[in-house]
Each structure stands twice: as C-alpha cells, then as structure tokens.
Amino acid sequence: MYICNMSHSHKFKPESLMMSYGFKPALSEGAIKSPIFQTSTFVFKSAEDGKAFFEVAYGLREKRKGEKLGLIYSRINNPDLEILENRLTLWDEAEDAAVFESGMAAISTVFLEFLKPGDLLLFSTPLYGGTDHFIHDFLHKIGVHTVAFKPGQNEATIRKIIEDTGKGDKLAMIFIETPANPTSALIDISLCKKIADDYSKENKVMVAVDNTYMGPLWQHPLKHGADFSLYSATKYIGGHSDVIAGACCGSKEVITRVKTLRTFLGNMAAPHTGWLLMRSLETLKVRMEQQALNGEKVAEFLNAHPKVEKVYYLGLIPEGTEEYAIYKKQYNSPGAMVSFDVKGGEEQAFRLLNSLKLIKLAVSLGGTESLAEHPATMTHAGVDPHHREEMHITEKLIRLSIGVENFNDIIWDLEQALQHV
C-alpha cells in the first residue's frame, strides 16, 4: 500500500489523514475513495510474483528491503483491511494494527496467541462479559491459570495476589479494562507495565488493554507501556451502531504474530466491514468530541438532580485523590460514558428507563445515538451478586452512552423520565 503522512516539513494530525491515508487513487481509476475490494483472491502478474508473495506470507524468508506483502487471498490480506489498519495505527501511534470481525475475535486471538496451558493470566475486574466468559469457560478448559485484581488495589496488593497463586514464574499476561465498565474505576497502565517487567524472565509478560471505552481518541495505552491496545470497533470506531468489528494495535512484532494466527482462525474482518469502518473513521474525532461535550452537560445535570444519588463520570473524580492522578496522567477527556445511581432500586431504575423518549434502551455504547441500560440485570447479570455489590453495580445503577444529539434534548429526556421515578 501507498503511505504518506508527511509533507517534507509538516506532520499531519490523524483526523486530517483519515480521508486519504494509505490509499492511492491512481490504483483505482482515480476514485477518491477506496472501492470495496469484494474479492476472495488476487491475480498474480507472474508465477515469480506468486512465489515471492507466498515466501513472505509463510515466513519462508525475511522480507527484502522495501518489500511489501503482495495481495494473495482475502483471508491473508485485502486492500480495504490494509488501508483501514494503516489508518488505525495513527491514533495509537502504533507500528501496526490488525482488524477482526468482532471485538471478541480480537481479544480471543490475542489470548490464544500469547497464552499457553500452564501460564498465568492476571486480569482486572470487572471485565466485559464476553471476555470474562472466554477466560472462565475457555481458558480454564485449556489449562490457563487466571487470577483477578480490582481497581484501587495498590502495587503491593497486586504483587501479593500474584505471589499467592504460587505461579508467579508462569505469569504471561496482564489484561486490563480501564476505565472499568460500568462505574469508570481507573487502573494505572504504567503500574501494570512495571509489574509485568519485573516478572519478565525468558519470556516477556505482555500487557493488554481493552481500550474500547475511551479509545482511540481519549486514551493511548501503548504510550503507557502496554503491548496491545484492543478495541471493539463496534463501539466508537464504528460509531453508528450498524457494524460489529474489532481491532488490535501494537508493535510490528506482536501484530505479525496476531495476524498469522488470524489467517489460520479466519476471523479477519470482511472487505465491506473494512470499508464501513474507514467511512466511520473520517468523522471519529468530531463525533467523539461532541459526545464528550454532551457527556459533560449530562453529568452536570444529573449531579445536581435531587432524585440522583451518585454520578460515576471521570470529570467528577475529586482532585487530590490517587484516582485523579491516574485520570490526569492517562486520559485527555472525561469521555462520554455516564453512569448514575437513581434514588431507590430496580423499580425506580426501570420506571426511568421505560419513560425515556429519545434515549434508546439498549446495550452497547459509543454510537451516534444515546443509549441507556441497567447493568445489574443486563450487561452484568452474569457477574456474581456479591462481586457486583462490591463494584457498586447495584439495582439503582443506570449506564448511559451519550450520543451526538443536542444535549438540551438528552437532558430534557432524562428530566422528564426522572419525574416518573
């Protein structure tokens, strides 16, 4: 692919490159946008070319200087995916990226490539339900040991949790979600990196961050030492609640391994999915900035409302706390996820949810439309009730994903729904 993000004197910002980066119109009849390369296979110019492409694809020899992987077959590579991957690297300043047909495909592929039977995985709680299920119902079955820690636990406690397993020497990966869903509790990525480095002996302990909640605009895990920045591209990257997809950013070395396993699992994104995500990326920044502005207004409104007990929102973390220090270090926006406790319990929360007129009652997040859901009985229904309580996921908690609507209309809707409580 053709890549140019530099004029000789100027480095363009990602949002300026999302319309053109990695695409050369001359290769597609002058089309300003990349066509959908809806093709399963690619015609080689010569038998020699075909041979050379396979040598590189199968790792039979190192790439020659300047040599690119030639187009072979759409399970291995496809122009829509390659252009999309090149664009995704810009936000995280990653060397490479891989896109998948879902966020779960990205996450499970990283687990499968970097964990083997006997290894220990340390993960933060609460995790996205699908990830939690994969860990408990699949990784355990293949003999991967796992142990959890919680946001707010300090370095000494996390080290003790690892030591108490008796398998510290087998630690292979630290997997975290920060901010934690749905209460936005924060985890210090550079602290995880420090612990990972201390446990790295012959094999490097990997740090993987599910960056779905805040990325790719508001948090950049690789800058804090993570090896992987993982996404459900279904959320902010896709942004229109009309596509399921996933992505993984990291160094050339780790992404090459991820892409190789992806080739054989066959869970890459389809060309049409790639094309849809490129279209979404053009407006990623304007969408997310509007969502964050709306989120701030909604959080302010809820925080002052007499029927609201508590608001969980990064912009309301008290200054001077340890969590505030992590917030300032790791995030460049409070984001657009706002959760809150309504006074009362399930009955009051349901009455509010059933009274909404503009905000839709649905799980998922990051789309252009505002969504509301009830974590205790919906996204987090599978979490052990005691554990749920500990994490403040109670019957009075409602999670909002704020969209791009006029914020006065979102607030009007919440106000009228709160009157029914």
Ligand X SMILES: *Cc1c(COP(=O)(O)O)cnc(C)c1O
Of 118, 139, 116, the residue nearest 127 (C-alpha): 139
Could you give the C-alpha distances from 360 to 13, 241, 296, 311, 371, in angstroms and in order? 34, 12, 19, 20, 5
Q: CB nearer to ligand X: give 114 or 134.
A: 134
Could you give the C-alpha distances from 388 to 146, 149, 407, in angstroms and in order? 19, 14, 31
Q: Binding residues for ligand X, how many (CB under 6 A)?
A: 16
246 interacts with ligand X by CB under 6 A: yes
Q: CB nearer to ligand X: give 128 or 407.
A: 128
Q: CB nearer to ligand X: give 193 or 399.
A: 399
221 interacts with ligand X by CB under 6 A: no
- Which positions from 127 to 166 touch ligand X by CB under 6 A, shown as an x/- string? -x-xx-----------------------------------
126 interacts with ligand X by CB under 6 A: no
379 interacts with ligand X by CB under 6 A: no
210 interacts with ligand X by CB under 6 A: yes
366 conformational bin, left if phi > 0, alpha if psi -120 to 50, beta if neither: left
373 interacts with ligand X by CB under 6 A: no
CB of 283 to ligand X, least distance (A): 19
Among 5, 74, 102, 294, binds ligand X (CB under 6 A): 102
CB of 85 to ligand X, least distance (A): 17
CB of 290 to ligand X, least distance (A): 20
- Other CB atoms within 10 Å distance of the CB of residue 321: 10
Of 379, 80, 380, 95, the residue nearest 229 (C-alpha): 95
Q: CB nearer to ligand X: give 103 or 271.
A: 103
Among 234, 267, 291, 348, binds ligand X (CB under 6 A): 234
Q: Segment contacting ligand X (CB under 6 A): 126-134, 286-294, 304-312, 351-359?
A: 126-134
62 conformational bin, left if phi > 0, alpha if psi -120 to 50, beta if neither: beta
Calculate ∠ Cα 281-378-401, nearest 5°: 35
Q: CB nearer to ligand X: give 22 or 295.
A: 295
Judging by beta carbons within 10 Å of its beta carbon (0-12, 13-18, 19+), is residue 359 exposed, middle or buried?
buried
Among 74, 212, 229, 267, binds ligand X (CB under 6 A): 212
Are 179 and 128 in contact by the 8 Å Cβ rule? The answer is no
235 interacts with ligand X by CB under 6 A: yes
Of 48, 414, 60, 105, the residue nearest 245 (C-alpha): 105
Question: What part of residues 171-190 is at the interface with ligand X (CB under 6 A)?
Answer: 177, 181
103 interacts with ligand X by CB under 6 A: yes
CA distance 280 to 200: 38
CB of 211 to ligand X, least distance (A): 8
CB of 16 to ligand X, least distance (A): 27
Are 372 and 420 in contact by the 8 Å Cβ rule? The answer is no
Among 34, 232, 339, 370, binds ligand X (CB under 6 A): 232
- Other CB atoms within 10 Å distance of the CB of residue 60: 9
Instruction: Give me 401's structure tokens.
Output: 């994903």
CB of 335 to ligand X, least distance (A): 13
CB of 158 to ligand X, least distance (A): 21
Q: CB nearer to ligand X: give 74 or 181.
A: 181
371-373 β-sheet, strand order: 308-312, 337-342, 397-401, 371-373, 360-361
CB of 35 to ligand X, least distance (A): 25
CB of 395 to ligand X, least distance (A): 22
Alpha helices of 187-342 — where are they, by DSSP H?
A: 189-199, 252-265, 271-282, 284-303, 322-330
Q: Segment contacting ligand X (CB under 6 A): 182-190, 209-217, 337-345, 405-413?
A: 209-217
**Across-strand partners of 399?**
339, 373
Site for ligand X, rule CB under 6 A: 102-104, 128, 130-131, 177, 181, 210, 212-213, 232, 234-235, 244, 246
